[in-house]
Each structure stands twice: as C-alpha cells, then as structure tokens.
Structure 1
Amino acid sequence: MIVAVLDVESTGLNVEEDKIIEIAVGVYRKQEAGWRQVGTTWNELIWTPKAIDPKAQVVHGISADDLKGKPAFKEVAPKLIKILEKCDYAVAHNGYSFDFPIIAFNLMADGFEVPQFEVYDTMVEGRTATSMGKVPNLAELCWAMGVDYDPESAHRADYDTDVLARSLFEGERLGYFRLNAS
C-alpha cells in the first residue's frame, strides 16, 4: 500500500476562491517492518498574484515576498497529480473540509482534471483517539499519539506533514486509524 500524507497552506480559508501557496507531500509504503518513506518529502512554495489574507499570514507566516520567483500552481500541479495517481490513499488533517477541496478547486481553476484517489482525514477519524470524541486539532492528535509537536514550527506544510505522518502511523499501530489496501 502507498500513502501520500500532505498539507497545504493558502491565501485564506475559502476553498473555492483562495490559492495554495505551499504544499508538502510525503509518500510512504507499507512493508512488513512497518511504514517507510519513499524518497524525501516534496515541499514547494507557490507564487500567486492573489493577496494573502493577513489572518492566514499570521498562522503560516508566509508572505508575498516569500513567494517571489516561485513557480505558479499550474507548474507544480502535474507533479502533484502524478503523486496522487500512484497512491492508494491521500491523507490530510482537515482534509475533507479543506485540503482536498482546495486542491480540487486549484486544479480545476488551472484547467486540470482532478485525479481519482481515496482520501483519509485524520481530523475526522482522530475522534476515537481523543477525550470524549473531540475532533482534534493537529497538536491534540500529536499529543494523543505521543508525537512531539512544536507550536513554533507548526503551520508550515513540511512540518505539519511530518508530524501528521508520524501520528497517522502510530495511530494505525494503536488501532485508532485503519487504512485498507485498495
């Protein structure tokens, strides 16, 4: 089984209008000895002419200056599509409500077809790992899984992807998450 664990940062929270400005994807293969990363995490800052909402910038710390000279989404989309087409699952924290819809809208806005892939949202599925079934934010999920979480490093796509992958695989080992082979 192959799983893509991903996170995106964006200009704001409107999945139909905002633009992805950072993406990170780690690809993992399940083997007898457990999950192993395939290669390194792909992390890309993405240029857009759309202004970054100041509230979003406070969260992820990415400014318009950070995006100067970076590729546009339409330039990185083919690589993202290629990764997603090869995976049994794409996993994100808040994926059902945010990551997967904004990816789909950004792909369609640039004329790409959205690839078909199975999705898994650790925010929704993580309720079983938290006190009284609370929907966990990423910090709470990490805590529940015994994964160190640094609030100073959080909300950048590469960091969030790394701690999410570790939480996902520990949660699967503990029986909180279940990824079934396609």
Structure 2
Amino acid sequence: MRQIVLDTETTGLDWRNGHRVIEIGCVELVNRSLTGRHFHVYLNPEREIDAEAEAVHGISLDFLTDKPKFEAIAADFEAFVAGAELLIHNASFDVGFLNAELSRCGRGNVASFCHGVIDTLRLAKEQNPGKKASLDALCERYDIDNGHRTLHGALLDAEILAEVYLAMTRGQETLAITLEEPSNGADMPARSVAPDRPRLKVLRANDAERAAHAAVLADIEKAAGHCLWLAKVQAASEAESP
C-alpha cells in the first residue's frame, strides 16, 4: 500500500481568483511506514502573494523569483505521486489548486493519475465530532511534537501530517482478525473448572433502590427530553405487574 502525504502553500485562498501554488511538499508511506522518500519544490507563481497568505507561510515573492514554474516540475510531481493514495488535510483546497495548475499545463487532473484521496480533516471530524481538527489541535490530541512549526511549510506540514494520520488510524492494520475455528475442537485447550467453585450469588435491587433509579432516569428525561433507559424500566415494570 503506497500513500503520499501532501501539502501545498499558495499565494492566496482561492485558485478561482487566479491564485497559484508556490510550494509542494510530499512524503511517502509504504505499508504505513515512512520510506524517507520525499518530493519538495518551491515555485515561481508569476503573480503577487497576498499579505495574509505570506503571514501564514512566510514565503516572499523575492524568494521565489528564481524558482521554477509549475510546468517545469509537473512531470516530476506526477511521476512521484502516480498510482498512490493521497493523504491531504482539507483536501479540496490543495486538490483544487493542483488541478488548476495541471490544467494550465494541459495535463490531466489529480484523479487521473492517483489512486484516490483521503481528507484527514474530514476523517478527524468524523472521529471526534465537535472538536478542533486543525493540524496543531491534532498534534496536541495525539501528543505529537510540533514545537518547530512556527510557520506553515508544505514539507514540514506533510511530515507532521504523516505522524498524525498514523496516530489517528493506529490499530486499523490489526483489524483483519482470523475468524476460522477448529472444525471439531480438537486443537482447542481443555477448560478446567474447579469442582468446588461456589455458585455466584445474584444480588437484585430492592424496591427502594429501583425507585431511586427510576427517579434518576426521570430527571434525565426531564433535562434531555428523552431517556431510553426510562422507557425500558417502565416497560419492564408493566410487564411484571399482574
């Protein structure tokens, strides 16, 4: 399983307004392990960079004037990510920008040469509804050190996102459990039960305890508008009534 963790930096927020990609950072995962292979490039956008964007990533137009244009690195980028599944935080943003750049070069879109895209922002929101899902928030949640991240940078963010994704999905590689059982039980160890083991004593709630429990459930019903357990208790009580 080959996956590419990808991030970009741009001149602004919307490719529809003519904004361009100025940095691409990718790191490779194979079978959920970092291989050490990466793709990283700065790009000359041939346009101004919004002040708000520069404040986020710290990349100036002066720094980019001698950098290659996207069309010069398009083939190398496509070759690096081809056939892989992409892992991107807020994927619609980066994919939208990359598709716009590829279109300017007359090349196919990302979907034409990649195996698929996983949006880690969406995944994080599905796993923890209502909680912050920024990269910094996820680093804090999964105890990943990002103290060296003072500004956004495509390669640095891709490396951090790789760690975050592995933490978010840890254990999934062990979900394929074996369901096969011995056909006749011959291979299973015999269970030994002590003959003098005492019988378990069953303690049932008395009337006062049951009434107190019902009162607590009634309070929940009043506060929340519905309490499933209260309905079950009432149904059980009615069933026991002569």
TM-score by length of structure 2 reads 0.65
Q: What is aligned with 1:79?
A: 76
Match of 1:98 among 93, 99, 105: 93
In structure 1, distance between residues paired with 2:152 and 2:137 = 14
Greater shift after overlay, 2-11 or 40-49?
Answer: 40-49
Q: Which has the larger radius of gyration?
A: 2
Residue 174 of structure 1, CA deviation: 5.0
Residue 138 of structure 1, CA deviation: 0.8
Is it true that 1:50 corresponds to 2:51 in the alignment? no
Q: What is aligned with 1:119?
A: 117
Q: Which runs of 5+ in 1 are unaligned?
A: none
Residue 61 of structure 1, CA deviation: 0.2
In structure 2, distance between residues paired with 1:146 and 1:129 = 17
Deviations 1:29-76 (A, max 9, x none): 00xxxx222343221111121110111000000001111211110011
- Residue 153 of structure 2 aligns with an amino acid whose one-letter code is R
Where in structure 1 do 4 or more consecutive aligned residues deviate above 4 Å? none
Match of 1:162 among 154, 159, 179: 159
Q: What is aligned with 2:9?
A: 9
- Residue 102 of structure 1 aligns with an amino acid whose one-letter code is F
In structure 2, distance between residues paired with 1:15 and 1:75 = 19
Q: Secondary structure at the match of 1:146?
A: coil
Match of 2:170 among 165, 170, 173: 173
CA contact (8 A) 2:39 2:77 kept: no
Residues 91 and 152 of structure 1: CA distance in aligned 2, closer, same or farther (over 3 Å) = closer
Q: What fraction of aligned residue pairs are identical, expressed as a percent?
A: 28
Residue 12 of structure 1, CA deviation: 0.4
In structure 1, distance between residues paired with 2:102 and 2:131 = 32
Residue 77 of structure 1, CA deviation: 1.1
- Residue 18 of structure 1 aligns with an amino acid whose one-letter code is H
Q: What is aligned with 2:136?
A: 139
Deviations 1:90-116 (A, max 9, x none): 011111x20111111111022111134
Residue 151 of structure 1, CA deviation: 6.7
Q: Aligned residues, how many?
A: 169
Q: What is aligned with 1:23?
A: 24
- Residue 13 of structure 2 aligns with an amino acid whose one-letter code is L
Q: Which runs of 5+ in 2 are unaligned?
A: 176-242
CA RMSD of superposed structures (Å): 1.9
In structure 2, distance between residues paired with 1:136 and 1:109 = 32
Greater shift after overlay, 135-144 or 3-12?
Answer: 135-144
In structure 1, distance between residues paired with 2:5 and 2:150 = 18
Q: What is aligned with 1:68?
A: 65
Larger relative contact order (CA 8 Å, sep ≥ 6): 1
CA contact (8 A) 1:154 1:160 kept: no
Residues 153 and 76 of structure 1: CA distance in aligned 2, closer, same or farther (over 3 Å) = farther
TM-score by length of structure 1 reads 0.85
